[in-house]
Structure 1
């Protein structure tokens, strides 16, 4: 049976239900069949090169397994892997014979031979290319990129056909006949790929990448290539603010036949459990594990992982993301569900002449200082923030925090204050001017007493009612829980301020022995100052009530309870 015949049979098995697959996997199959049929038309810009699929299959046979029960046996690609490979390599442009797909997104659970498959792709292009190829294998951490690189090295070392046709030197593989190279790349060495004209970029475990900087460096360097290939391969993750989730949402729309989004340059396949699937039902496991769930040893490994997750709840998040390949929208110990927060976003909100509770988190003078604004409404609360950073610290923070501070400044969510430290008088004047400009009625200014005595005195002199918000569990636990509950119930709105969304996405809650909670700056790896400022304001704003008669706000201070 030819490779194409095997792929067609596999597609039939998926669509007829003989092989269980998730809806997005089925969409990928339907897309392939439609694209193949379209290629038969004279007016199609693409054609299908069946021989390329055979070539890739036989190239894989040159590799041998280097460990496990299949050690020293040739690599026989599964039907699932053949489906992916014919999509990547067989669709070509009639205009110049180049590959149709320039980007590839593959999401499947761990232990499904991804490193080995990527090694075959990287070596196939570099060894057989007519021109010098540069393949970069990019992980966020060095050990991630090294894992795929080592799979490439071990794979080509296992091939007798390639004896004497390559060498490893200075941490990279060099091919003799065309001088192509395969290089591991991480964020510590990201400059390696910049301007070096990469032809292949392999981004491994993209969910772990905190920013898109490595992806962007590779992508920007490919502009001069005739047929570049950017491959993202990953499991699901648990931080929806990272670039991988954005990419996941985008390719999901490409696959969805009911969505108007189209991209002829982008191949994607996602293997995950569908919403509502029972994780204890072993028949569902193949949806996320198209290779592991096809043999008994693999199934037993999943059973073991599930037993551990059921016995130790803290392990369940890892099981859902790594084994069931489901995006879980909360960090370990995370305070707020990113999906719930995003669901509260509104396009705009006219808060002119609203009553407002102001919270401030001054932090250190060289760090982020934030003001939070909570507006009681007839449905609950509207929240906003504004943050401040010293001008001389901006460049350092841009590199260290890996967030787009410049863009945030342009959007008006963040201001830069003159000098090397935050000028609190600048913050004071900004708050006063903002209140006057919007006609807000400031009810209270709520502040963390640490380092804020002079600030509170100054604001009192300006006519504000300033209330100290002690930062212990006794003061913060109930408001912190109540604010989250209000978000989850849809009783909070915000206008999509990325700084505030970033802060709540970063926030980790710490808990005492009585299950009281508060946001923890020590446990939160990234900045939470805007979120802390909003919670400070909410400590008092939660007691505000809307008088539906005349629209005025009455309130009870927490200090009166």
Structure 2
């Protein structure tokens, strides 16, 4: 049958869109095809003992009507006009809100993950849904809209990584409500809060700085731009509040990001891709829609841009202007040759995940590193009673300081771990700039927050001594970067430690740096899974001289993507390799070349 001859008259818009994607009538990527096929398959098995859900068109139509009768655009060329949902939105919204339990009418999906490129009305859509969560969301038996049940004191959270981003959806929702007579009659919309006039509750922005994040019972949580979240804390805390409501829902929305190795959003993306492909069991209560430019697609081919930008398949003025803007950003990025601009284009405009740098030391093998981790207890059992080379990278006293430990095992492997130190008074500032959870890691024992505004080096010595006493580690040498370390290492020497200065030029550092990576590739390293060490390792940039020698560096001198712990490990590795047939250290020290 030719697709052009198909008659969709009377077919619900959600079902029609799914069919058009599966039949190839609309350009789409693999993940969108799988999502649409999932919907069609579910229609065939609905209301069965193994699948007690039904697609209730009235529930899907209810959210469509909400947008098209009550909600107005608050920015852009259509500002002030009622929102007219596009076909891809009717599919996404129809699935999330139309699938319900066949008996109770409770919503099937508890989580929904949406990825599409910038400019495809994500924020507008979520703002309208935030208001729907405050006013229109309800439960009723399938096909019986007359028997509605609303939640008392509805709670809607607009969550993001920081206050400014969290307020974006919240402010758009407030403005959308103010511009709608129907909504304005039912909600109190103030500068600092939104509440239902008769049922109370709240619509509020939520970020990591919000107090009492875990005190609510949310009906709806919107996680905005999840790719920017350094941890899953906001998502986890919000989701832990579920179960107190009849049909709580979490809407996660994002573009791709530039930290493919560390991002919790990328981890969620990876798991969902496996789920949609059938590599792991399907979570029947998790909706997934990923629209992206695929791995083998050419980002220069404009005809493929609608895959991550579904609006481009529509024939309207906004679609035309969006295409022009994407083309302009493409040309500027690639004509400039600036890697940062190219990565920005790829993540934001075609939804393709990127590593933060093309010169990453561990590019492509971070998964292998992570696979070599064992539990902390297993690690301590493995190295109990062993000699250890300690590595120091003291850095600035107001920043992160690294203490590395390297062990040579009898079977030819190396065991490594590291500990971080940071001044307690700077931890909050560094969490904001570095976008990693130092306080959480300190609570878990991966680093120490020392009192005051500068690192107290006595805590480093105390940590070394504690490990020696508790785990019977025998310190072989303290291998240190001489920067800022002379006085402290002299104190260690006075207490019986043997100290070795590690010159920081390539002739000393290149071979151990290459050897460390070789050990990872061969599976000859074991570590305790420290998230702080793993983060530092993933940040390290490889700098190469004209002779192919390498050393590690941050991307920029003042970059907040720190490498201190892996630098400390490499310092220890320099000496741990001696006697392993790998390095003539004395020759390197005597002939160190500081040119680079």
TM-score band, normalised by the shorter chain? 0.7 to 0.9
* TM-score when normalising by structure 2: 0.78
What is the aligned counterpart of 2:52 among 45, 61, 67?
A: 45
Does residue 1:102 correspond to 2:110, yes or no? yes
Q: Deviations over 1:230-282 (max 9, x none)?
A: 1110111122323222222222233222x233322211111112222211122
Counterpart residue number, 1:126: 134
Counterpart residue number, 2:372: 346
Gaps of 5+ in 1: 548-552
**1:106 is paired with a residue of what secondary structure?**
strand
Task: State the 1:97 CA deviation.
Answer: 1.7
Counterpart residue number, 2:536: 503
* Count of aligned residue pairs for this structure pair: 545
| Counterpart-to-counterpart distance in 2, 1:405 and 1:119 | 32
| Counterpart-to-counterpart distance in 1, 2:409 and 2:464 | 25
Does residue 1:233 correspond to 2:269, yes or no? no
What is the aligned counterpart of 2:85 among 63, 77, 91?
A: 77
CA RMSD in angstroms comes to: 4.0
Task: State the 1:318 CA deviation.
Answer: 0.8
CA 545–102 in structure 1, closer or farther in 2 if over 3 Å, else same:
same
CA 299–55 in structure 1, closer or farther in 2 if over 3 Å, else same:
same
| Counterpart-to-counterpart distance in 1, 2:27 and 2:510 | 46
Task: State the 1:139 CA deviation.
Answer: 1.7
Counterpart residue number, 1:317: 343
Q: Is the 8 A contact 2:441 2:532 kept in 1?
A: no
Gaps of 5+ in 2: 1-7, 138-149, 592-596
Counterpart residue number, 2:321: 297
Does residue 1:519 correspond to 2:553, yes or no? yes
* TM-score when normalising by structure 1: 0.83
Q: Is the 8 A contact 1:388 1:427 kept in 2?
A: no
Counterpart residue number, 1:555: 584
**2:354 is paired with a residue of what secondary structure?**
coil
Bigger drift between 503-512 and 530-539 goes to: 503-512
Counterpart residue number, 2:169: 148
| Counterpart-to-counterpart distance in 2, 1:113 and 1:476 | 53
| Counterpart-to-counterpart distance in 2, 1:57 and 1:421 | 59
1:458-473 matches, cutoff 5 A: 466-471=499-504
**1:20 is paired with a residue of what secondary structure?**
coil
Q: Is the 8 A contact 1:137 1:204 kept in 2?
A: yes
Counterpart residue number, 2:564: 529
Bigger drift between 378-387 and 176-185 goes to: 378-387
Task: State the 1:532 CA deviation.
Answer: 1.8
Bigger drift between 64-73 and 425-434 goes to: 425-434
1:15-94 matches, cutoff 5 A: 15-41=22-48, 44-62=51-69, 63-94=71-102
CA 537–29 in structure 1, closer or farther in 2 if over 3 Å, else same:
same
Counterpart residue number, 1:176: 197
Task: State the 1:397 CA deviation.
Answer: 4.3
Counterpart residue number, 2:300: 280
Q: Deviations over 1:108-138 (max 9, x none)?
A: 1111000111122122221124233111111
| Counterpart-to-counterpart distance in 2, 1:173 and 1:405 | 32
Does residue 1:448 correspond to 2:481, yes or no? yes
Q: Is the 8 A contact 1:382 1:493 kept in 2?
A: yes
| Counterpart-to-counterpart distance in 2, 1:192 and 1:415 | 25
| Counterpart-to-counterpart distance in 1, 2:325 and 2:308 | 14
Task: State the 1:539 CA deviation.
Answer: 4.6
Q: Is the 8 A contact 2:391 2:570 kept in 1?
A: yes
Task: State the 1:540 CA deviation.
Answer: 5.2
**1:291 is paired with a residue of what secondary structure?**
helix
**2:306 is paired with a residue of what secondary structure?**
helix
| Counterpart-to-counterpart distance in 2, 1:233 and 1:89 | 16
